[in-house]
Amino acid sequence: MSNHTQRESQNRQQLQHKEPMFYYFAYGSCMCPVDLKRTFGENTHNYVMGAGILNNYRLGFYRYSASRKCGVLDVVKDSNSRVHGVLYQLPWRLSESLDKREDVPRGGYRQEFVDIDFQGKIYKNVRTYVVVNKLLSEIAPNDWYFNVVLRGAITCKLPEEYCWGLFNHMNGLQSSQLSVIN
């Protein structure tokens, strides 16, 4: 373990002793700690544990976000797939802000508790969010959402092959949308 990784682990342990924490698995724009900081108003890098895996789910753009004016990510149960994302350990005081970001009060997403594979260990009852009223087909992300999702995936060191798959999926949706418009 590098000195930097040890220091991050020690910081997380110190934070954990000071206040109640919960685990959160992000697979969309929340993978980007810089974007998550916009919601919480504080630096979130110290809460990043690293890349994790959600087995038996797949990604899809099954929700239209009125605020972002584009399709946004969702996870859907699929026994033949897995989703890579970012495992956070967040202070409980940020829970309500996270719910608001995910549009829980208005029925956009709902909390779901899942098992996450992180560094060979299974973390149980990790919070993630799933779309409540899924669209029948995917809607493309806009360029801003595309970039923030990819930036989060790369920043938090998701596997390169997965990042390329994510890029190709989003690019394909955008290309399909453009061909329909033209």
CA gap 158, 127 in Å, rounded: 19
61 known ligand binder: no
Provide the token pair at 100.
């608001």
| Residue 88 marked as a ligand binder | no
SS3 46: helix
* In the chain, alpha helices (H): 3-18, 33-40, 95-101, 143-155, 160-181
Q: Is 102 noted as a catalytic residue in this protein?
A: yes
Q: How far is CA 173 from CA 113, 117, 151, 176, in A?
A: 28, 28, 18, 5
The answer on whether 65 is annotated among ligand-binding residues is no
Catalytic residue, from 8, 42, 96, 102: name it. 102
Query: Was 113 annotated as part of a binding site?
Result: no
**Structure token pair of residue 97:** 């802000």
- Residue 28, annotated ligand binder? yes
Q: Is 25 annotated as a binding residue?
A: yes
29 appears as a binding residue in the annotation? yes
Query: Would you list which residues are annotated within the binding site for substrate?
Result: 24-29, 145
Active site residues: 102
